[in-house]
Structure 1
Amino acid sequence: MNTNKPRIVILGAGYAGMMTTKRLTQQLGAEEAEIVLINKHNYHYQTTWLHEVAAGTRNQNQARMMISDVHNPNRVRLIYDSVVEVKKEENLVVLENSELSYDYLVVSLGFESNTFGIKGMDKNAFAITDIETSRLISEHIEYQFAKYKLDPKAKEEDLAILVGGGGFTGIEFVGELVEQIPKLCKKYDIDPSIPKVINVEAAPTILPGFNEVLVAYAKSSLETRGVEFRIGAKIEECKKNGFVVNGDEEIKAGTIVWTGGVTGNSVLNKSGFEITKGKVTVNGDLRVPGEENIFIIGDCAWVMNEEEGRPYPPTAQAAMQHADTCAANIKGLLHNSELTKFVFDDKGTVASLGNSDAMGTVFSGTKLYGKPASAMKKVIDNRYLFLLGGPKLILKKGKLRPF
């Protein structure tokens, strides 16, 4: 291997990391740079599908793909290891099992769950953070149903599922749960009126950032299918068997899932980056202030919308667009050409409310509801697969059945 080639190291194979790697291999010749992708696992997973794995409506293998199926190991050096720390002064990445120097670094390590210091939440609640945690949730839910059927001491509240947080993930998760629960009731011969799905949100509304008409549609759709909303209920504590809200009221459940917040990867803090609410505020070209050769993208970065004076929301579409700008700017650094500033192209946001229902906006704010919105959501999911691996990947992993 030619050691004179500049080495580009990408940390994390989420949406941002996978797409940056893809773009770099498209835009740079093999002789121009060595590209290294480091990831904890040998697979990439669709973060936006984790709520389906957690509810049991999608098989975990359908939500993940082998990294080597997307990136040719002859073109991209793949290292499967955990990142411990970045030593910026030494241009060095410390891994659990080795160390690696870099000329250019892309940090796209994704998110970690943020419990905002709520007592007992870390210990007593599940969180939808990766494939393994999501699988644990669906297995636990099914276990509760099996136990209820077989254990004469089991209580009805054991079949209640408590979801903390009424944001995007929480709402998409309860949408999947109300589809899965009737199937579990049938499988275990349980009265379908017994299980409960309760969504608890401290804010005065669910789905912050969505138009109020869309929020009303989502709430009504889910309530019709049995979801109970507790809006404006502040979670004081999470116990083994439920939440304490608004002072001393207890809501009991056999399964507790926290979806109420995320933060950037803890490696950022350990590596001495300047952190604001768990993330690094990057320059317009996505580099870290004061660092010529370090880019931070995806869920680890605050990318400012200067017109509105606040960061863009950390979505999958934003992460993929970060990747385009990041790859173009690394190429710019290699060729001594001008760097480009990140400009977000908002293609809209659609939230699924189960397999055949959804709501959201597309393009310049057109509102969609119900089956048309659900079909659009599947198009959005498949588009990512197409960008990453072409038609072959869509046929292998895509959402091909409309409903």
Structure 2
Amino acid sequence: MNKPKIVVLGAGYAGLTATRKLAQKLSPEEVEIVLINKHNYHYETTWLHEVAAGTINHNQARYMISDVVNPKRVRLIYDSVVEIKQDEQRVVLENSEVAYDYLVVALGFVTNTFGIKGMEENAFFIQDIESSRVIREHIEYKFAQYSSGESTDENDLTVLVGGGGFTGIEFVGELADKIPELCKKYDIPRSKARIINVEAAPSILPVFDDDLVSYAKKALEDRGVEFRIGAAISECTPEGFIVGEDNELIKAGTSVWTGGVTGSPVLAKSGFEVFRGKVTVDSDLRMPGSENIFILGDCSWTMNQETGKPYPPTGQLAMQEGAAVANNIKNLLYGLPLNDFAFDDKGTVASLGLSDGIGNIFSGIKLQGKAAAAMKKVVDDRALFSVGGAKVLLKKGKFRPF
């Protein structure tokens, strides 16, 4: 008799957690587990803004999948997913295809430009390790060009960031730390370099209350960040963003869009019913109408049954979903009832650079300043430990003991 085959697509927070928990709960005699990922490494998505600003090395934000998943227990395939053939229960990859009995879709996000003209062509995106490295290198290249006299345009020293959500604000916080270093390195007056954040909504950081938002905005302004709030971007040109009703052009040497993400395009291509690029899953995290397909993380809308709204797509949500799905697949195998997913919200913390931040933790405790920055490092290390284990935490953690 063939063993049931569980195939996990994607080694982000959700997929890697699901894989590790499945390997712990089920023996090699019970199931075959396959993990498919584009790269041979996992990266901390919530650290990418630091890689993009150049405040951490890209290697700190990633680790090898084979360091945390035993290749003798889990078959590792490094390839890109092209399509999921639901009727035939197989996944088409660029270089092969894989059949499944149970499928976990955790393919992560792609940037959503909301159709803004020129954004796709002219802006950088904080999407993965490589795209974040490119941003860091491009910013420094512009400073080097100006310093050498190859460029005399002061706009080249401006970094323009579209989007005042989590990624955009954490990114400008890191830039507020990094830009003074670059100015010193290239002997450029700090006053010549600008960091501008543009947000169409009337406020930044919609997940936080007014007090914390006011603190964050003032703290960043005090470190040289400029805000253009309530200014919609109508176009991104090679020179910068065109914003507002008067179509003002804000020129910059580097334009970065952080204003939105959507689920992997594989979902729509595979005929899944998507809303804004994601599948709204049932309470047990299965795709509606499916017995054996689970969809997690940035690919799904997971509804809060109390509010009727989806939970914000965070790392902690993805990890909890991964653990819940491992339980539910074991239950399915043994004919037991599936559990509804219950999200345990530990709170939200946003960094504003290395030593500043804001946060809401443990149902209403507010943090700001150094306390929030310290808590952010605890949160990051906890995610490292939860997904990668003690060995990875010791190698990559932000509170390393040596």
Q: TM-score range by the shorter chain?
A: over 0.9
Matched residue, 1:240: 238
Aligned length: 400
Further displaced range: 277-286 or 239-248:
239-248
Identity of aligned residues (%): 68
2:33–2:75 contact (8 Å) kept in structure 1:
yes
Query: 1:182 — aligned with what?
Result: 180
**2: CA distance, partners of 1:132 / 1:325:** 31
2:301 corresponds in structure 1 to: 302
Q: Give the equivalent residue in structure 2 for 1:345.
A: 344
Task: State the alpha-carbon separation in 1 of the partners of residues 150 and 43 from structure 2.
Answer: 39
TM-fit CA distance, 1:151 = 2.5
**What secondary structure, in the 3-state scheme, does the structure 2 residue paired with 1:38 have?**
strand
Aligned pairs for 1:364-375 (under 5 A) are: 364-375=363-374
**Partner residue of 1:73?**
71
Equivalent-residue separation in structure 1 for 2:48 and 2:381 (angstroms): 15
State the distance in 1 between where 2:78 and 2:306 align: 40
| 1:240-279 → structure 2 map (5 Å cutoff) | 240-247=238-245, 248-279=247-278
* Counterpart position of 1:359: 358
Structure 2 distance, partners of 1:387, 1:167, is: 25
Among 116, 119, 140, which residue is 2:117 paired with?
119
Distance of 2:14 and 2:362 partners within structure 1: 22
Question: Of residues 99, 102, 106 in structure 1, which corresponds to 2:100?
Answer: 102
1:60 corresponds in structure 2 to 58
> What's the offset of the Cα at 1:324?
1.4
SS, match of residue 346 in structure 1 = coil
Is 1:212 paired with 2:214?
no
Aligned partner of residue 389 in structure 2, secondary structure: helix
- Larger deviation, residues 49-58 vs 206-215: 206-215
CA distance in 2, matches of 1:108, 1:244: 35
The unaligned stretches of length 5 or more in structure 2 are none
CA distance in 1, matches of 2:385, 2:234: 44
- RMSD of aligned C-alpha atoms? 1.0
Displacement, 1:152?
5.0
Whole-Å separation in 1 of the counterparts to 2:380 and 2:351: 11
Runs (4+) of structure 1 exceeding 4 A deviation are none
Letter in 2 for 1:269: A
The answer to whether the 8 Å contact 2:13/2:387 transfers is no
Deviation string, structure 1 residues 275-301 (Cα, Å, up to 9, x no partner) = 101100000000001110000000000
Could you tell me which residue of structure 2 aligns to residue 25 of structure 1?
Answer: 23
Change (3 A) 1:401 1:185: farther
| Distance in structure 2 (CA, Å) of the matches to 1:218 and 1:27 | 43
2:343 corresponds to which letter in structure 1? F
**Cα shift at 1:205:** 0.0
Matched, 1:311 2:310: yes
Q: Is the 8 A contact 2:168 2:258 kept in 1?
A: yes
Deviations 1:180-233 (A, max 9, x none): 011111111111111000000000000012111111111011000000000000
Say if 1:123 and 1:332 are closer, same or farther in 2 by CA, change over 3 A. same
Map Cα deviations across residues 334-380 of structure 1 (whole Å, 9 max, x no partner): 11111000111110000000011110111111001111111111111
- Equivalence for 2:388: 389
Match of 2:43 in 1: 45
Report the CA distance between 1:153 and its aligned residue. 4.2
For 2:379, give the aligned amino acid.
Answer: I
SS at match of 1:305: coil
Counterpart-to-counterpart distance in 2, 1:294 and 1:99: 17
Which residue type is aligned with residue 229 of structure 2? I
- 2:378 is matched with 379
> Which 5+ residue runs of structure 1 have no aligned equivalent?
none
Partner AA of 1:339 in structure 2: L
Does 1:83 find its partner at 2:81?
yes
Deviations 1:259-287 (A, max 9, x none): 00000000000000001011000000000
Opposite residue 34 of structure 2, the aligned amino acid is V
CA-CA distance at 1:154 after TM superposition? 2.0
Give the match for residue 229 of structure 1. 227
Separation in structure 2 between the aligned mates of residue 46 and residue 153 of structure 1, nearest angstrom: 35
SS at 1:57 equivalent: coil
User: d(CA) in 2 for partners of 1:378 and 1:185?
Assistant: 27
Q: Which moved more, 1:248-257 or 1:381-390?
A: 381-390
Q: TM-score, normalised by structure 2?
A: 0.98
